[in-house]
Structure formats: C-alpha cells, structure tokens
Amino acid sequence: MDKRFIIAIAFLMGCTTTENQISDLVEQMAGNPIESTAWTESVEGLTAIGRPAARLLISQLNPSHYVGKNYREFRSEIEKLRTGSARVLGRIKPRGATGPLKDRISSAYTDPERIACIWALGETGFNQAGMDALLNVLSDSNPIIRLHSAIALIKMDNENGYEEIENAVYGDQSELRDIVNVGLRESSYFGVPVIKRLMNGEGSEQKLLKEISNSVGDKLISLLQSENPEIRRRSSIALGILNEMRFEEPLLGCLEDPSNQVKFSAAASLAGIGSKKGIEFLFEAMRNEDPILRSNAVKFLAKVQQSGEMVQEKLISSMQDADPMSRAGAAQVLGLANVVDAIEILETATTDKSPTVRANAIIALGHIGLIRSEEHLITSTQDSDATVAYYANWALSRLNQTNK
C-alpha cells in the first residue's frame, strides 16, 4: 500500500478522533451545571485540545449558532455552552475571539455568560475594541459586572477600574472582596500597581492585601524564568514596585539576563528596594564604553532618582570621578531627574576639561531651568567646542521659556 495513502488515512482518523472528542466534551458541557465537576472537566478537556476547538467555541458564543442543526431547546444549555466556551477561549487565546466575546458582555446575556466573556477579554490581552467594550460596562448597574470589568481592564494596562476595585476592597460586601481576591491574584504584573496602591491604606483589609501581594510576588519570581523577555522585564519591574528585600536574590540573577532591558529593569528594581548591587550595576554601566549600555544606565538611574532620591548623593559624587564617562553620565541623570541640589556642581562642570562633560552639564542645567545658571550658560556660548556652544544656546532659550 502507498505510504502516502497510509499517512493520509492516519491523518483523517486523527482528525475524526479530535472532532469526536470535541463533540463529546461539548455535550458534557451542555448537560451539566456550571462549575460542577463534569462541566469543569469539559472546560479543561477542550482547553487541552486547544486551537482545533477554537472555531466551534467562537461560534458557540453567537446566537445564530443555535438555529437549525445546532438548535438547543433549553436556554440553560446555551448558557452552559457560552460560559464554558468563553472560559476555554480565555485560556487558549485564539485570534478572532475578541469580537464575539465583547458582543456578549451586554445586559442581553446572563450574568455567568457576561462574566465569563469579560474574564476572557482580560486574559486575551489588549485589544482596542475589547477595551472600549469593557469601559462601557464600567457603568453597568450590576456591581459584580462592573468589578469583573475593572479587573479585566487592569490586564490591559488600563487604570480606569481602580476606583471600582478600591470600593470593593473597602466596602461591606464580602462577595465583591472575594472577586478582587481571585482577580488580583490572576492579574500577574498587570495588577501590581493597584495592589501597591491599596496597600497604602489602613484597616483589616490589609491582611488580605498582603496575602494577595505575597501570592503575586511568588508568581512573578517564577516568571523571571520565562522564555519571553518582555514577561521577564515586566516581572522584574513589578517586583521592584512590590519593594521587598526577599526579591533581591531572584532579581540579582536577572543581572546576567541576555536582554539588556531585563538587566536594567532588574537593576533599577534592586536599587529601588535598597540593594547596593543594583545601584553598583547601574553606575558601572554608566562608565561602560558601549553607548547602548551607557544610555540604558542613564535612563534607569534617572527613574530610580525620580522615585526616591536614593542615588542622589552618589550621582553628585560621580561628578568628580576621574572617568569623564562617569561625569558625563552623572550630569545627564541629574538633569533628567531635575535634581536642583546639583546646580552648583553642574555649573562648575561647564568648564570641565572634557567637552562631553561640559555639554551634558549644560543640557542638565537647561532641564533644571534655574535663572541663576544664566551667566554660566552665556559664557558657554563662546566655548571652543561647537557642540558645547550649541547646547549652551539651547539651554539659554529653554531657561528664558521656563522663567517667563
């Protein structure tokens, strides 16, 4: 028998087997109560099959699907199928699911259907149409629907639902707090800013928030091992926001990451939690001959300084470093972070022997924008280096705009 024929037969048998599995799981989903063991098993089974089931699952969201051969006598069966299909789609995240999902979150559908579709939109990630639909639901009369929408929006990096979440945490409805508890634990690095904001409050809710923070922190540590550098980067930033010394060791491991953005994000987070090794990494990179590393070091040191002045003294001290790269980098950071206390040493640096240092000190003075620096800048317009003179004129014009 032809080998290609055998392969084709095996392929068709495999397809038929998968189709039968999908059909059996769909019937199991339709025939059992939502959240029952059998219903949950059908959701997990379809999730395991994954994308081969996606087309049918998407179609089961649509009302037109239940006309003709797919007719269901009981509305409750449709609810089970639509809710379960949304759950699976949120896990496997196929293309083309956003439209049908967003169209099922209106009040025309049951609460289980709406909640499942809202959750799936959040899990699928940012999509403008999906986000717009969720924003509309934030004004829904049902507080449970509003809260689920707020949590889904967080997963799209949208802060519009923060107040809804805050009201649920500090309100008197335990059901809403339970939703926040589950939702924020699922939200990974997306939810860290709102978790940190809520932890700045007071009251008995702080115990729950600390438990949520610990759970999310543990998950973020594991995500530092992700194959996706963007996930590693976002996780390292989020650990810095949570700001606990227990994160120092896993973040130190990121300083050897192959991605520069992960390295520097981790270093900035380490600096933010008070780790000297993170600060040392950034200052060492600021002296590196590689212009990309120096640029990253300046950018992240400026962020660290803006968040708490923990590197200000070292930056000012670096203005007297023997290495002109260090002096120039420190001047850049001091200007970007608008460190007024560095004015005097920056003015002195306008006569530095290195034109690169002079130029960066002048740019920094332009950013800070104090009129007292005007005399130094006027003098620098006559600098023998054309670049230095150019930036002196730029800084003067900026100074004049700032002090109008």
Q: What is the pLDDT along the chain (404 residues), one digit of tens a residue?
A: 455 544 444 444 455 588 889 999 999 999 999 999 999 999 999 999 999 999 999 999 999 999 998 899 899 999 999 999 999 999 999 989 999 999 999 999 999 999 999 999 999 999 999 999 999 999 999 999 999 999 999 999 999 999 999 999 999 999 999 999 999 999 999 999 999 999 988 888 899 999 999 999 999 999 999 999 999 999 999 999 999 999 999 999 999 999 999 999 999 999 989 899 999 999 999 988 889 999 999 999 998 998 876 799 999 999 999 999 999 999 999 999 999 999 999 999 999 999 999 999 999 999 999 999 999 999 999 999 999 999 999 999 998 887 65
Q: What is the CATH number of domain 321-404?
A: 1.25.10.10
Rounded Cα distance between 162 and 195, Å, is 10
Fold agreement (224-310, 321-404): yes
Please enumerate in sequence order all residues whose Cβ is within 8 A of that of 180, keeping only pairs 6 or more positions apart, or say none.
147, 151, 165, 168, 169
Given this model, what pLDDT does residue 12 score?
40
- For residue 46, how many C-alpha atoms fall within 13 Å in the half-sphere facing its CB? 30
The matching CATH number, chosen from 3.90.1300.10, 3.40.50.620, 1.25.10.10, 3.40.50.1970, for 224-310 is: 1.25.10.10
Given this model, what pLDDT does residue 174 score?
93
Rounded Cα distance between 143 and 177, Å, is 12
Rounded Cα distance between 73 and 371, Å, is 79
Given this model, what pLDDT does residue 10 score?
45
Given this model, what pLDDT does residue 328 score?
95
Could you tell me the pTM of the whole model?
Answer: 0.84
H or E segment and range at residue 91: helix 75-92
| Domain boundaries, given as residue ranges, for the chain | 224-310, 321-404
Given this model, what pLDDT does residue 203 score?
84
